Structures are given as C-alpha cells and as structure tokens.
Amino acid sequence: MNGPTSDESPEGRSRSIAPAPHRADIGIVAALPIETGDLVDRLKKVRKFKSQGMTVLEGEHNGRVVALIHSGMGMVRARRAAEHLIFGHRPYWIVHPGFCGGLDPALKSCDVVLPSEILRPDAEPIPVPIRPELLPQGIVTGRLLTMDHILRLPDEKKQWHDRTGAVAVDMESYAVAELCRSLNLRWVGLRVVSDTAGDELPPEILTITGPTGAFRLGATIGALWQRPAAVKDLLKLRESAILAAEKVAHYAGHLIDALPVP
C-alpha cells in the first residue's frame, strides 16, 4: 500500500495513488463478519483498503486507529489475512475476537474466554501473557484448542476437554497466535461461547456454510428439504450468534481502549 503521491504516465497524464493507511494502534483479525458486526458499527471515520482480494476496514474507536480484516474460516485463511493486515497496517497489537465452542461443561452460552494458552493437536502449545485486569469482571481464562474442523457433538467436546484441559475450541486462533509470536508482535485472543459443551450442533452446519461463513444456497435448500426441522435449529444458532456478537463488541471495545500503545 503506497503513500500519497502522483506520477506521470508514459502519455504524460497524472496518475494518483491512494494514500497509505495510518499505522494502526490495534489490528483485529476475525473469521466472520457476523462476529464483529456490532464492533464495526462502533467505529468512526471508516475507510476501506482493498488489495490482493482482501478488504481491510480502518476506523477510529475513541480516538484509536483500528484496522480490521475478516479472514474466513480455518487456519490457512486466518494466517493469510493476519499477514495482510500486519504488513499493510503495522499495528502495535493484534486482537483476535470471535466465537468459540465450549468444552468445559461449566461454560454457559455467551461466556467470555480470554485464552491463556493456545493448543493444537500434536503441536507445541503457545502461551499467551494475559491481561484480565484490562477487562470487566466475569471473564474466564484458560486453554483454547484450535481444530481444523467443527466439534459438533457433546461426546467429541468431552473427549477433547478431557485430553487437553482446554475450556473452549475454535478453528483459527493457533495460526494467528503463531504468526504473531514469530513476528514478536503482541497478541490477545477474545472468544465468546456460541455453543456449550452440552449443545449438539445440527449436522447441516457441516455442509451449508462456506469458508466465509455464508450459507450455500443450494446446500441449504437441499438440507431443509431433507430435514425441515433444521430451520428451527439454524434459527437458534443465528440467535446465539447475534447475542455473542454483542459480547464481542463490548469486550473487544474495552481491549481496544485499554491495551498500551506508544
């Protein structure tokens, strides 16, 4: 992303180049737009920067410059999006907010998890220096497990909780935390429980959502044709996501304002 300048084309015509983004105080990498919709609504003076097929939103939150990117689901997309934001906007911190599945039976829907360690099967754990004092009371701290697929059934969740001691699970955090560690960039995760350890997610969730979280129309129609009751289950998931997004915005806003920057 180049700075504000202009030059002359071979034909002698002036060609303007878009101004470079500000250096961000806080960079935010999230998987899905639904996770950060409420947070984006709180930003002022929002600008968009598009390149390499990705869009970064830059705005202000109580005077701080925030750069935000949506990666889509999974570790590969999360790392690519994080690299794009970091090298283009040079944030002092990366905040990684979003939803998670509960593994600890004590966690309730919409509980807030501040990860103290990021785990991945058969990989080195990544410890995270946490700052719970920067957030309102009521958060849970503990291990967060990153998997390459959705844990849909309570038995699966119990198995991984017993095996790892993780309190929650997602599909992206390990990739972003690993990248930030390699760049010596400060990172903090923020997860809100969208489904608890005892919740069984509908089987359709594995086939009707694309990597960006959007519903695949054809797959959705087919799934509803096969099991009309899926409508109720999917609407319940949607309601849970809306409530979780409100928590993401509330707690991420606290972090944006409280994290120390030069």
**pLDDT reported for residue 133:** 76
Q: How confident is the model at residue 242 (pLDDT cuts 50, 70, 90)?
A: confident
Model confidence pLDDT, tens digit, residues 164-223: 999 999 999 999 999 999 999 999 999 999 999 998 877 655 444 545 554 444 444 444
Q: Could you give the number of structural domains in the chain?
A: 1
Residues 6+ apart with CB under 8 A from 171: 31, 73, 74, 75, 78, 146, 147, 148, 149, 150
Q: How confident is the model at residue 233 (pLDDT cuts 50, 70, 90)?
A: low
CA distances from 95 to 5, 26, 65, 74, 255 (A): 31, 7, 13, 17, 8
Model confidence pLDDT, tens digit, residues 22-43: 789 999 999 988 899 899 999 9
pLDDT beyond 70 at 8? no
Residue 115 and residue 191 in contact, taking contact as beta carbons nearer than 8 Å: yes
Summarize the confidence of residues 63-78 as an average pLDDT: 95
pLDDT beyond 60 at 15? no
Both structure tokens of 91: 């944030």
**pLDDT reported for residue 205:** 58
- pLDDT greater at residue 123 or residue 17: 123
CATH number, domain at 14?
3.40.50.1580
Residue 197 and residue 154 in contact, taking contact as beta carbons nearer than 8 Å: yes
Summarize the confidence of residues 232-237 as an average pLDDT: 64
Residue 253 and residue 26 in contact, taking contact as beta carbons nearer than 8 Å: no
Spatial separation of the C-alpha atoms in residues 150 and 240, rounded to whole Å: 16
DSSP reduced 3-state for 110: coil
Spatial separation of the C-alpha atoms in residues 100 and 243, rounded to whole Å: 13
Both structure tokens of 168: 């929650």
**pLDDT reported for residue 129:** 82
| pTM for the predicted model, two decimal places | 0.81
Q: How confident is the model at residue 19 (pLDDT cuts 50, 70, 90)?
A: low
For 101, which DSSP code?
Answer: E
Residue ranges making up the domain that contains 53: 5-258
Model confidence pLDDT, tens digit, residues 78-132: 999 999 999 999 999 999 999 999 999 999 999 999 999 999 998 999 999 877 7
**pLDDT reported for residue 136:** 76
Neighbouring C-beta atoms of residue 144, cutoff 10 Å: 29
Spatial separation of the C-alpha atoms in residues 262 and 190, rounded to whole Å: 22
Both structure tokens of 223: 């799934």
